[in-house]
Structure 1
Amino acid sequence: MSRAASQTMKIQKPVVVSEKGLVASQNRIASEIGANILRKGGNAIDSAIATSFALGVVEPWMSGIGGGGYMIIRRANDEGAHVVDFGMRSPSMLKKEDYPVIGGKANDLFPWPVVKDDANVFGAKAIAIPGQVAGMAKAHETFGSLPWADLLAPAIIEAEEGLLVDWYAQLILASAAKGLAKFPASRAVYLEEDGFPKASAWTALGQTRCDQSDLATTLATIASQGAKAFYQGSIAQNMVDDLKAAGGHHSLQDFNDYRAQIVPASEFRYKGHRIFGTPEITAGPTLERVFQWLKEWSPDGMRPSAEDFTTFDQVIRKANQERFETMGDVANEPVPGCTTHFNIVDEEGTMVSVTQTLLSIFGSRMTLPSSGVLMNNGIMWFDPESGKPNSIGPNKRCLSNMCPTLLERSDGTRFGLGAAGGRKIMPAVAQLISYLLDFGMDANTAMHEPRIDVSLSETTIIDHTLPEPIRTALKQKLPSMTEAPRTVYPYHFACPSIIERNGTMNAGTTEIMAPWADTVSAES
């Protein structure tokens, strides 16, 4: 833990309450756009589509049309829930020999063995076929009510104006400048001509923006021609040409064949509560395993104790170990089993929870010159070593860490939640679910409660604001432990958001340390 960080500062982010519905996302602008769709009479799915496209513009390093994700929907009067699966998949012509393992341990999101030239992390060979556009189109076709073009219009306006570089954007740009500088189109959008990151203005009178005009043109084409323009039309052909020119093995057929799908959400009962999650090769099945093993456990008090955190640590580690050993896309069939998350509830009570990603911050770091699309590095989800369920291979679905989740507590209160943060996502979501269900907390209390992170194989990270007796006890109970602050950057304990519906009243809250994240009410 940094000795320079303030030890006395306390930050709170009050919950937003509304009967008209609300949007809780990692960017205030995107939340405003989603809430405005609700004000215009759109439902929660319409709002989610608009929010999704907007986030790809105003928070481009986390997600966008060059990525993928999962949406879970429970309409107000439905007994069950649906999942829109728009996860990414590897190109059908991918060549495993392009990813030779040279030893050591990678230093990006996952501790895989290092691949020569980081081919699974940076550039064209790291890029999987994106699903975000297809996923939003599938959700709109099945559940939407407002015109498709109207839902993309706000994102187009934001892209035409260009991303405003404030202090937080400058921080993120600086953290990724070395990687972005390798790709001319990325360099042109996000860096200065000399390769340094764009900087925020020192006063309110000046503004620095990133030029997203090419992305605006692409979004406008998708708005007018539909998702098919991204997968079958000139956009798709141009993207394939750009990828091939950069050494990728993507084909127009890969884009033509991509399909988002709607599947039933997994549902499991937990101590009288209902949990709806994502099935198959997401973190949803691993989350379910956590709660299967927690069924016989009960907390002693109203807040987690050292014993409770020790239980979380043991159970989450056990579930993760099972996940890493058994899950993946084997023979292209689903196996049971830096990102952004947002939640929406409308006036009727329909809830939507969405996690979408480019995977790493700025994904592959490669912006395609013909379309302005920043592309994912979804190939990094695969284990580069052969012979594993999740080994790199052609035409395979990516094993993701995402687990957007909906809850119905035994008292009738409903929640939607999820998080960003790679392998930190599931441990954070599991603890928050326990706070809401086992400890009976509301969304606001749960969000402010300290957590631990169990995503590292050998070390547990604990929030240094936990009471001293708990920290002392955990030092004795956990094999390896380190303290860390809950900071703006990096997010040691993931970056979650939660919505809550009790009767006709809705509430929403976002990660207290996320400076852009906010909840916006649909009330005028």
Structure 2
Amino acid sequence: MSNFSKTQRISKDVVWTDGGLVAAHHRTAAEVGAKILAEGGDAMDAAIATSFALGVVEPWMSGPMGGGMMTLWRTGEKRAETIEFGMRAPVGLKLSDYPLVESGGVSDLFTWARVKDDRNIFGPHSIAVPGLVAGMELAHQLYATKPWAELLAPAVALAEKGMLIDWYASLMIASVTRQLAKDKDAAKLFLIDGQWPNIAGWTDIKESRLDQSVMATALRRLAEAGPRDFYEGQLADALVSDMRDKGNPLSHEDLKTYRARVSPTRTVSYRDAIIHAPSGLSAGSELVTTLRLMEAELAAGKSPDSGSYVAMARALQAAYQDRLENAGDESGDAEAAPCTTSFSVVDKAGNMVNVTQTLLSKFGSRVVSPSTGMLMNNGIMWFDPEPGKPNSLAPGKACLMNVCPTIGKHRGRMFAIGAAGGRKILPAVANLISYMVDFDMSLEEAFHHPRIDVSGLTQIIADEDLSMEIQTALGEIAPTVAARRTVHPYAFAVPVGVMRSEGRNCGATEIMAPWGDTSLEENFIVR
């Protein structure tokens, strides 16, 4: 049940261009990347600039204190790769700090056993070693063409100006006010007198901005001193000191030894398409499993029907069963290699970069590093707190991520699809691939088509716009709940994507995401 209008329809235009473009969960960040393309940068230059800009304009989703993964396509070499920069547990982490309590599972993104005071979810004990800066460092070394400082300059300028607090930002902040108030530095940054953020009046158009001057100083230092300063220099010293004061065991050694890594994608054929799923501790393995099962059971045609959705739901259930039982970093090796934001870039040459980066939960740990003005991640939540399992919590262990930035080729079309939304990411990516490959939908048609979410074993969520025949068929394999695509909360993941066909490019973002947008290189070319 909902109170929302049944006659209102929301859509977004998908525009084709001969130049490059960036599709992101925030318009301003997309514009930063598009401007880099217009100034002669390639897809990776735009991706790095967009990444750091997103950490400023959407600070509760991602940033330098988080981690993630990117999948990229190099059109000249016709090669796909993954760059992994996930978070990991500090080596000094003590399992005794996470005692289990008998009060049922948690209610955020996972269903682990509950830990005392939810300290694995929020607060200082939930913070893992960040990897985003190292990921962008490696990407810059391998494929960027512009200087590091030049690519971070837009993020510095945005932080100096301060994030615009509109109605959506106010909603995001208000939704976690009580937890933000528990950390004095988070309260100072986001709240007023420990309570609500600035919220515009009913007809008020006066502009209000977040004070991100401390973040601006830290980003300027990162730009000028280079990425290793975050792990071995002045910024590392500040971060370790901040975490020590908060009660987190993050050490200089944790930072100094952290490295991102590059690896081949998980590449499979799906009907007449080639899919490059991410490697490492992502949802890439489960995407491969899902696609193989769908290929055997799902019949392609003009449009998806009840049989299509049942086959997709069964495939996702099987993939998640395997993931929940077997996935994780079993090595415990410190050298092993969300909420979340995602963006996709394609340049005029056809190079693609597909990035998903995250603090994990919305506002991460709800803890702010006072020396940097940045929210810290809560990557420890990715671990199962019960011992004896592949993904059980352990010192120095890499986090098992839900991210799934994917690149595909189908009948001459290249596409890059990613999403935000924790365990809902995999179903969204699988839905969209199926729409484009099995039913030959355009990117625009796929993003507007209703989806299903099967991100666990006990329930299916179906878009209420799907027919009752489809909903009834799904209900025969698992309890099915009809839900509407809304702005908050999101019953489904929040995807972004780009496509290239016959030398032209287009991009799309989730139709219900109020900030999500595609920005074209051509809009910033001075003629």
* TM-score greater than 0.5 by the shorter chain: yes
Structure 1 counterpart of 2:219: 219
Q: Is the 8 A contact 1:327 1:335 kept in 2?
A: no
Question: What is the DSSP-based 3-state SS (H/G/I as helix, E as strand, rest coil) of the residue aligned with 1:406?
Answer: strand
Shift of 1:335: 9.2
Structure 2 counterpart of 1:282: 282
Structure 2 counterpart of 1:375: 376
Alignment of 1:411-490 (within 5 A): 411-475=411-475, 477-490=476-489
Q: Is the 8 A contact 2:300 2:439 kept in 1?
A: no
Q: Is the 8 A contact 2:137 2:227 kept in 1?
A: yes
Q: Is the 8 A contact 1:84 1:261 kept in 2?
A: yes
Please say if 1:520 is aligned against 2:519: yes
Q: Is the 8 A contact 1:166 1:201 kept in 2?
A: no
Structure 1 counterpart of 2:398: 397
Normalised to the residue count of structure 2, the TM-score between the two structures is: 0.96
Structure 2 counterpart of 1:171: 171
Deviation string 1:97-149 (CA, Å, 9 cap, x unpaired) is: 11111021111111111100111011211011001111111101110001111
- Comparing 455-464 and 419-428, the one that deviates more: 455-464
Q: Percent identity?
A: 47
Shift of 1:201: 5.3
Structure 1 counterpart of 2:367: 366
Matched residues in 1 for 2:110 and 2:434: separation? Answer: 26
Shift of 1:300: 5.2
Match of 1:389, as an amino acid? P
Question: What is the DSSP-based 3-state SS (H/G/I as helix, E as strand, rest coil) of the residue aligned with 1:295?
Answer: helix
Shift of 1:203: 4.8
Please say if 1:110 is aligned against 2:110: yes
Matched residues in 1 for 2:46 and 2:111: separation? Answer: 36
Q: Is the 8 A contact 1:280 1:335 kept in 2?
A: no
Question: What is the DSSP-based 3-state SS (H/G/I as helix, E as strand, rest coil) of the residue aligned with 2:518?
Answer: strand
Matched residues in 1 for 2:264 and 2:509: separation? Answer: 27
Matched residues in 1 for 2:82 and 2:311: separation? Answer: 30
Match of 1:173, as an amino acid? I
Alignment of 1:171-320 (within 5 A): 171-200=171-200, 202-203=202-203, 205-299=205-299, 301-320=301-320
Distance 1:522 1:204, change over 3 A: farther
Alignment of 1:44-59 (within 5 A): 44-59=43-58
Matched residues in 2 for 1:349 and 1:331: separation? Answer: 37
Matched residues in 2 for 1:215 and 1:222: separation? Answer: 10
Distance 1:335 1:280, change over 3 A: farther
Match of 1:296, as an amino acid? A
Normalised to the residue count of structure 1, the TM-score between the two structures is: 0.97
Shift of 1:205: 4.5
Q: Is the 8 A contact 1:424 1:455 kept in 2?
A: yes
Matched residues in 2 for 1:479 and 1:120: separation? Answer: 30
Shift of 1:18: 1.0
Match of 1:231, as an amino acid? Y
Matched residues in 1 for 2:211 and 2:190: separation? Answer: 8
Matched residues in 1 for 2:220 and 2:435: separation? Answer: 43
Shift of 1:79: 2.4
Q: Is the 8 A contact 1:281 1:335 kept in 2?
A: no
Structure 1 counterpart of 2:510: 511
Matched residues in 1 for 2:187 and 2:198: separation? Answer: 10
Deviation string 1:319-344 (CA, Å, 9 cap, x unpaired) is: 011011111111236999x1001000
Question: What is the DSSP-based 3-state SS (H/G/I as helix, E as strand, rest coil) of the residue aligned with 1:209?
Answer: coil
Distance 1:202 1:5, change over 3 A: closer
Question: What is the DSSP-based 3-state SS (H/G/I as helix, E as strand, rest coil) of the residue aligned with 1:10?
Answer: coil
- List alignment gaps of at least 5 residues for structure 1: none
Q: Is the 8 A contact 1:498 1:508 kept in 2?
A: yes
Structure 2 counterpart of 1:351: 352
Deviation string 1:268-309 (CA, Å, 9 cap, x unpaired) is: 112231111111211001101111222223425322111111
Q: Is the 8 A contact 2:419 2:493 kept in 1?
A: yes
- Matched residue count: 520
Match of 1:495, as an amino acid? V
Matched residues in 1 for 2:332 and 2:284: separation? Answer: 19
Structure 2 counterpart of 1:161: 161
Shift of 1:391: 0.3
Q: Is the 8 A contact 1:404 1:418 kept in 2?
A: yes
Q: Is the 8 A contact 2:188 2:194 kept in 1?
A: no
Matched residues in 2 for 1:509 and 1:47: separation? Answer: 17
Structure 1 counterpart of 2:332: 332
Question: What is the DSSP-based 3-state SS (H/G/I as helix, E as strand, rest coil) of the residue aligned with 1:370?
Answer: coil
Alignment of 1:31-46 (within 5 A): 31-46=30-45
Matched residues in 1 for 2:148 and 2:477: separation? Answer: 51
Structure 2 counterpart of 1:28: 27
Shift of 1:185: 1.1
Structure 1 counterpart of 2:407: 406
Matched residues in 1 for 2:131 and 2:254: separation? Answer: 11
RMSD of equivalent CA atoms: 1.4
Deviation string 1:180-217 (CA, Å, 9 cap, x unpaired) is: 11111111111112422221355565121111111110
Deviation string 1:470-509 (CA, Å, 9 cap, x unpaired) is: 234433x233011110111111110001211001110111
Structure 1 counterpart of 2:75: 76
Matched residues in 2 for 1:259 and 1:250: separation? Answer: 15
Q: Is the 8 A contact 1:328 1:335 kept in 2?
A: no
Deviation string 1:444-467 (CA, Å, 9 cap, x unpaired) is: 000011001111331111000112
Alignment of 1:131-146 (within 5 A): 131-146=131-146
Matched residues in 2 for 1:250 and 1:448: separation? Answer: 43
Matched residues in 1 for 2:328 and 2:284: separation? Answer: 13
Deviation string 1:380-407 (CA, Å, 9 cap, x unpaired) is: 0000000000000000000000010000
Match of 2:162, as an amino acid? G
Question: What is the DSSP-based 3-state SS (H/G/I as helix, E as strand, rest coil) of the residue aligned with 2:368?
Answer: coil
Q: Is the 8 A contact 2:462 2:483 kept in 1?
A: yes
Match of 1:157, as an amino acid? A
Matched residues in 1 for 2:518 and 2:204: separation? Answer: 24
Deviation string 1:245-271 (CA, Å, 9 cap, x unpaired) is: 111111111011110111122211122
Matched residues in 1 for 2:328 and 2:468: separation? Answer: 41
Matched residues in 2 for 1:321 and 1:516: separation? Answer: 34
